[in-house]
Structures are given as structure tokens and as C-alpha cells.
Amino acid sequence: MQELIPFIHGNISDVLGSIKFFMPEIYLAVLFILVLITDLIFGKSFWQMAKIVACAGMFFVIVKDLEQVSLLLADAEHGSHLFFSNMLLLTRTGIDFKFVIDVLAFIMLLYFDWDDSLAAHPKGLGDLYSIVIASLTGLHLMIMAANLLSIFLGIEMVSIASYLLVAYRSENSFSTEAGLKYVLFGAAASAIMLYGISLLYVFTGSLSLFGNLLPGLMNTNVLPVSFALVLVLAGIGFKLSFVPMHFWVPDVYEGASTPVTAFLSTLPKIAGFALLINFLTPFLYFGNWGGFDFRLFLSAIGILTMIAGNFAALLQSNVKRMLAYSSIGHTGFALMGIVTFNQQGITALVYYLLVYGIANIGALLLASYFANVTGAEDVNDYKGLGLKYPVASVSFVIILISLTGLPITAGFTGKVFIFSAVYGVYQQSHDIWLLLLMVTGALATVVSLFYYIRIPLNLFIKRNENISNPRNNSYNLLFLSVIIAVLLVLLGIFPGMIVKYL
């Protein structure tokens, strides 16, 4: 005990000095407690209070995110800052990711109780808001993790919140099944990842990505190291839902209530990409890392994911299930941005993920809208609704076009940025895998059009004489989806509005 005393001073000053880099997360933690207390006080009579508090709080968190930009510029000379004894890493890209996540979370918080089936929950949705805020803290940790332990911690924090969200409306047996499935898959994935982490620790005696981990790995046999790395990547892959870690996705997305699906298909996935970037960065900057070829591995996975996701989506007729498979396809496409391993690719990726997130939330929002208004959940139930609900249907078309990646929507510019980043690398390295990735990406676009277009096809082109009258008018959902559609077109015409800040 005695010999540790000299270190206490240094440790305390490190912790105190780190706090200013941790402000958004502290705000989130405070917000979590606030929402929890609000729910305790108002939960019985007026649970919407929790929503108001959560939304207002998110506003402050976003402001804090943006403040970090100047903090980072003022403090660090390398554009990144390690803190909390090298557990967390704050980078410019990380701030972008946090901003994207918090903006999407804000939209999500608005959206949750507008879905009728979820809002019909007998106990109200007060708890749900505190769960979401807690998971946001976890997402922030994932984005900043720079140590294998903090990576694991972040992932687990998000996972536990996600399990609760999926099973939130548990009177439905399908939802229960989905929740259980998710927990089992998630637990298995965590165990695999933890095994990988412990192997890495055994090889090197270090957990810090930017510390002694890499030099240690260089001195170890390539084969076991690769094995351990694949295990860790599998754990991250569970969050990203790339092939072959995608089997949970369709059932969980279909079983969970629609807003939860929108949450799961965007936020954890985006944070997962940030985590993957953090995890890969030391390997790329560590001079002569020759062990495990990440580019080959991730390219192959990206190609497989695009093919599997898009072709499986062709066969679906449930809207949520189709969007689930298509989100797998999008993961594959986004992996393209990762394998460039350069700043341009990352910028393109952040933009792509932002646009994908907005569009995917928009699509599920409209799925909610149609479920609220007509009870339609299957593509075939959408028959002929386009002429009866023209505003919602036109927004749906725009959002789907953006997901497909056709001009003049933001999805198209995102796709162009990713393609040009990959092309730029290909031009230098002539790596055949990159070319294959691009060709697969182009093909995937054509395939994805084929299933996305089935929604407009049913909305507008198929005729249906007996359309029942609307059950209720979800004007708030409609309003939000119109804003999203307009935003997507605006970003499609002027992508510079966002990209110049990335």
C-alpha cells in the first residue's frame, strides 16, 4: 500500500484534468438521473414529462458535443487526446460521431411515443426514456474507447439497454421471443469478444490499444494473434451486424416495436463503426504491422455482407424485416469507407452513416405511420394507399430513394463520397479487393432498388378499391417524416452544408 502513495497525486490530477473532456458524458449521466427522478415523480400521472426532460437535456448534450471541438483544438497538438489514464480517446472524428448520434437520438426521443402500439404500453414510456439516455452514455463510451476494457464496457452498457428496449413491450409473444433471442446472441457475442480480449492480454500483458499492446503482439506468433483479433472483431461485428454475425437482426427488428427497431438499426451500429475505427487505428499507425491483413478481412466481409443483406431483403414482404436486411446491406457498404483507412474515407463514412441514420429512421417512422393509420405492416397491405395518403407516400418515396442512393437525395452524395474515397485508395494501391468492393457496391444498389421500389409500387401503382378509413391521424409522425424527406433532398443538393464541418 505504501509504495502506491507517490502515484496518487499523479492519478488524481489526471482524473481531474480529464473531466473537462468528459463533459457531454457527465451531462448525459446527470440527465439520466434527472429523467429517472422525473419518471418517479410524474410517472403515474404524466409520464410524458420524462420525454420533455429528455429532449431538453439532449439539447444541452449536443451543445456540449460542439464545445468539445474548440477544446480539442486548443488542447492537443495531434488532434486527439487520451485521458482517464489512457482509457478513453477524444478525436475530431469521435466528436463528429457523437454529434451524429446525439442528433439521431434527439429524433428518436421525439418519435418513441408517437408509435401507437408502443405508446399503448400500460405503464407508460417513462422508463424507456431513462433506458435510452443510459444507452447513449454507453454509445459515447464506445465512440471514445481506447482500451480493450473500456471497449467491452461500452459495448455491454449499450447491449443491456438494447435488451431492455427490445423486450419493452413484452405482452406480445413475438417481442418476447425476439428479446430472448437477442439476449442469448448478445451474451454469446460478448463472451466470444471477452475471450479474444483475454487472449490478447495473455499475449502482451496490456489492454491499452495505444500502449504496449501492439509491440507485444508483434513478438507473438501470427496465428494465435489473428485468432484473438478475429474474436474481438466478431464481438464488434455483433453490434455492426455484418455477415456472419447478422442472424439475430431480422427477428429482433421484426419483433421489437418499430421505434426500437429504428433505434437499434442506427445508433449502436454507428457507434460500432466509431469503435471499429478506434480499434483499427493503432494497427495502422504502428509502423510495420504485418500480421493480420485487416483490409483483406474487412473487404471480404463487406462484400459478403452487401450480397447477403441485399439478396435476403428481396425475399421479404414484412416492411420491418425488409428494412432489417437492407440495413445489413448498408453495413456492408459502410465497411467500404472503413477499408480506405484514411481520413477522407472516414469523413465519407460519417456523412454516409448520418444520412443512412436519418433515412432509416424516416423509413421506420413512416412504417409506424402506416401501422398507426391503417394497420398495415406488410408490403402488400400498402396497396393503393398512395393516393389516399399522398404526403406520407411521397415522403416515403423520397426516403427510400435516398436509401437506394439515387440522385438528388443525400443517399446519393453519401454513396459518391464513399466510392470516391475507395477509388482514391485504389488508384494508389491497385488492390483488387477494393475494386471488387466497388463493383459489388454498384450491383447492390441495383438489387436494393428492386426491393425498395416495392413499397412505392404498392403505394402508387397497385390498385385497391376498398381502403378502410384511417383509424387516427398521426400528424406528428407525418410532420416529422416530411421534414426528414425535405432534409434529405436539401442535403442531396447541397452536401457542403454538412461535409464542410466534418
Minimum Å gap between C-beta 328 and other proteins is 19
The three-class DSSP label of residue 88 is strand
Minimum Å gap between C-beta 226 and other proteins is 29
Nearer Cβ to other proteins (191/493): 493
Minimum Å gap between C-beta 406 and other proteins is 5
- Beta carbons of 341 and 300 less than 8 angstroms apart: no
Nearer Cβ to other proteins (327/347): 347
Nearer Cβ to other proteins (194/499): 499
Nearer Cβ to other proteins (247/450): 450
The residue ranges that bind other proteins (CB under 8 A) are 342-344, 347, 387, 390, 397, 401, 406-408, 412, 415-416, 419-421, 423-424, 426-427, 430, 432, 435, 438-439, 442-443, 445-446, 449-450, 453, 456-457, 460-462, 494-496, 499-500
Minimum Å gap between C-beta 12 and other proteins is 38
Minimum Å gap between C-beta 285 and other proteins is 15
What is the SS3 assignment for 444-475? HHHHHHHHHCHHHHHHHHCCCCCCCCCCCCCH
Q: What is the DSSP string of 203-270?
A: HHS--BTTTTHHHHHHTS-HHHHHHHHHHHHHHHHHHHT-TTS-THHHHHHHHS-HHHHHHHHHHHHH
CA distance 492 to 405: 10
Minimum Å gap between C-beta 427 and other proteins is 5
Nearer Cβ to other proteins (423/475): 423
CA distance 456 to 467: 17
Nearer Cβ to other proteins (46/423): 423
Minimum Å gap between C-beta 479 and other proteins is 17
CA distance 301 to 336: 10
Minimum Å gap between C-beta 461 and other proteins is 4
The three-class DSSP label of residue 81 is strand
Minimum Å gap between C-beta 424 and other proteins is 6
Minimum Å gap between C-beta 394 and other proteins is 9
CB neighbourhood size of 4 (10 A): 8
Nearer Cβ to other proteins (9/463): 463
Q: Among 415, 410, 324, which Cα is nearest to 367's?
A: 324
CA distance 148 to 244: 22
Strand ranges inside 1-101, DSSP E: 80-83, 88-91
Nearer Cβ to other proteins (229/421): 421
Which residues does 266 contact at the CB level (< 8 Å), separation at least 6? 104, 108, 356, 357, 360, 361
Which residues does 186 contact at the CB level (< 8 Å), separation at least 6? 159, 162, 163, 238, 248
- Beta carbons of 482 and 488 less than 8 angstroms apart: no
Minimum Å gap between C-beta 423 and other proteins is 5
Minimum Å gap between C-beta 104 and other proteins is 23
Nearer Cβ to other proteins (382/419): 419
CA distance 327 to 249: 9
Q: What is the DSSP string of 136-191?
A: HHHHHHHHHB-BHHHHHHHHHHHHHHHHHHHTSSTTSHHHHHHHHHHHHHHHHHHH
Nearer Cβ to other proteins (41/446): 446
Nearer Cβ to other proteins (244/390): 390
CA distance 117 to 477: 14
Nearer Cβ to other proteins (103/499): 499
CB neighbourhood size of 502 (10 A): 19
CA distance 363 to 366: 5
